[in-house]
Amino acid sequence: MTTKAKPRTTTPRITNKRPISISAVVDAVGVLASLSTRGHVYLYDTNRTAGSTGFGTEQLRTKVKAGDTLLWSPLALECEAYVAIDGIEIDPAVAEPVRKVYPGTDVSYWTATVKSLPGEEVPYRIRYRVGTRTEPVTSDQSSFLIG
């Protein structure tokens, strides 16, 4: 008696192809009054369920893995204030952020692909353009990518 082997079924591997969005809510009036981001920047990301921590602080710890796409965007706390990201300082061996603009607008965002992660946290700092100030204001405290 011969039996036919049942067809092998595999469960499709589900991968997160959406970028991990990191939003910086900036109190522009506070930053301009103090020329500091301390207590005036609140960071959030979309990866809390994977283990990110530090929400609502300037020391966000975003849980990532190699190959993840990151997308940074600023939000002004005050609706009439101008806030933009001027640059992101991070080890280029880990990620190389690039400024992009949404088509048909002058609204910019920054994106990067995580190349690799060493065993420890990888710090980064964000430079902001705020109001009519010509010089950017750099984060007082680092945020981190964690593996």
Give the start-to-end residue ranges of the domains of the chain. Answer: 20-146
- What residues have CB less than 8 Å from 113, skipping those under 6 apart? 67, 68, 69, 70, 95
Whether the CB-CB separation of 114 and 95 falls below 8 Å is answered with yes
**pLDDT at 120 (0 to 100):** 87
Residue given tokens 């959406």 in the structure block: 18
Class of domain 20-146: mainly beta
**pLDDT at 135 (0 to 100):** 96
Threshold 0.75, pTM exceeds: yes
pLDDT tens-digit map of 20-49? 999 999 999 999 999 999 999 999 999 999
pLDDT tens-digit map of 63-113? 999 999 999 999 999 989 999 999 999 999 999 999 999 999 999 999 999
